[in-house]
Amino acid sequence: MLHKNRLFTPGPTPLLPAAQTAMASFTAHHRTADFRALFQRVLADMKEFIGTKNDVLVLACSGTGVMEASVSNLTSPGDKVLVLTAGKFGERWTGLAKAFGCHVEVLEVPYGQTFSLDDVRARLNHQVRAVFVQATESSTGARHDIEGIAKIVRAHGDETLLVVDAITGLGTTHLDVDGWGVDVIIGGSQKALMMPPGLAYCAVSERAWKRMDQTLSPRYYFDLRKERKSAAKGETAYTPATSLFAALGAALEFVRGMGNGDLAKGREELVNNAEICAEMTRAGAKALGLKLYAASPAAALTAICAPDGIDSSKIVKEFREGFDAVVANGQGEMKGKLFRIAHIGYYDYLDTIGILGALEHVLAKVTGKSIEYGAAVRAAQEVYARTQSSKQQLVGA
Ligand SMILES: *Cc1c(COP(=O)(O)O)cnc(C)c1O
């Protein structure tokens, strides 16, 4: 059969066609009125997309670049920081904070788990200058309780900052950035914004801007204060990734369209979309007797354990060879143990039903056992029907 190449990976994610055409035809120089207008519109829309009144910056780098910027701008060598880690991306925080000479306290829980709020509370004290965490840990598919963690951090007053890597959280998870008091929240273009890699962004609180005037870690390209000053004048400090800004403008218009002209509403719709795709996928996997890897699964992606005695690399390979569908293997020590199906950004009902239909065949092939065809699809259909009928009731009410 004909195969269409489809990404089900937690970044890069499928591209929005309107974003692709916008970038293909974009030629404006960055120091022009045309680009300034696009830039200012995009920064204003990004606040709506993130759901914040804080200043938003968009930089030319991958997500890790802005993770690094948050460490180098907010800490001085020797500062005590607390990293909450439950996977590969949590470990990245530890590596970054160490690279900038921080004294790193680590609250670590096993892969697939999330943190107990009591443990977080117990590890916090007034020496901790910043707490670093993921909203959704893309290596395990776990969702962390950012609201609960933020409450604990904020109870400490202004001396402890909360920095959230929401690179797969934004657009898949309801996050009340300002209401909860998140100081820096970070996202990336190749996730829910349905664009190629190359841009990363953050929203920064007044508390965090103040901290930056006292900190001593070296920074140059990633000096956020410099970038903020330029942004206030409608410009970037250095050459921006101009064509990616054009793509970003188109992606934000698409999200606005999902909210019938209201971008904040569109963002909520995008999150609800991911929630439904994820719930369908979890139900489908369970109907095939598969176990989920994460105890508190995120809507960003579903990490599914390989059946006993089967290497998940075989499952990933079979998806690729049989259907040209790219699903992600486990990372690091998790390689071979699980596979990950993403719901971040440009996924819909048909993608979700399709990947579950393919999963039935993949599983039959790699296990050599007979599968009740339709079991995963049926379970997903039931989830879908239930979510649609509750929506109808809401409309009727
Ligand atoms: C994708 C991702 C990142 C960023 O990775 P880059 O390759 O630097 O863009 C960071 N954290 C999480 C949770 C991610 O999913």
pLDDT tens string 90-120: 999 999 999 999 999 999 999 999 999 999 9
pLDDT value of residue 391: 81
Residues 220 and 343 in one domain: no
Residues 228 and 309 in one domain: no
Residues 284 and 214 in one domain: no
pLDDT one-digit tens code per residue, 356-388? 999 999 999 999 999 999 999 999 999 999 999
Residue nearest to atom 2 of ligand 1 (CA): 167
Give me ligand 1 centre to Cα 140, in Å.
Answer: 13
pLDDT value of residue 157: 87
**Pairwise CA distance, residues 261 & 346, whole Å:** 18
pLDDT value of residue 390: 85
Residues 55 and 74 in one domain: yes
91 lines ligand 1 (CB under 6 A): no
Q: Does 227 score more than 90 pLDDT? A: yes
Q: Does 46 score more than 60 pLDDT? A: yes
* Number of folded domains that form the chain: 2
Residues 247 and 364 in one domain: no
Specify if 89 maps to a domain: yes
- Average pLDDT on 248-252 reads 98
pLDDT one-digit tens code per residue, 126-141? 999 999 999 999 999 9
Chain mean pLDDT for the chain: 97
39 lines ligand 1 (CB under 6 A): no
CA angle 330, 332, 334 (to 5 degrees): 40
End-to-end CA distance of the chain: 46
- Average pLDDT on 277-289 reads 98
Q: Answer yes or no: are the C-beta atoms of 212 and 161 closer than 8 Å.
A: no
pLDDT value of residue 393: 78
- Average pLDDT on 339-352 reads 98
Residues 317 and 349 in one domain: yes
Residues 250 and 266 in one domain: no
Query: For a pLDDT cut of 70, what percent of the chain falls above it?
Result: 99
pLDDT one-digit tens code per residue, 143-189? 999 999 999 999 988 999 999 999 999 999 999 999 999 999 999 99
Specify if 335 maps to a domain: yes
Q: Does 394 score more than 80 pLDDT? A: no
Specify if 1 maps to a domain: no
- Domain boundary pick from 217, 238, 258: 258
Residues 198 and 286 in one domain: no
Residues constituting the chain: 397
**Pairwise CA distance, residues 111 & 277, whole Å:** 23
Domain of residue 354: give its range.
6-11+262-396
* CATH code assigned at 301: 3.90.1150.10
Ligand 1 pocket test, candidate residues 164, 165, 222, most atoms within 8 A of CB:
165
The pair of three-digit structure tokens given for residue 312, joined into one six-digit string: 């998940």
pLDDT value of residue 395: 66
Residue nearest to atom 3 of ligand 1 (CA): 63
Residues 214 and 74 in one domain: yes
Residue nearest to atom 5 of ligand 1 (CA): 63
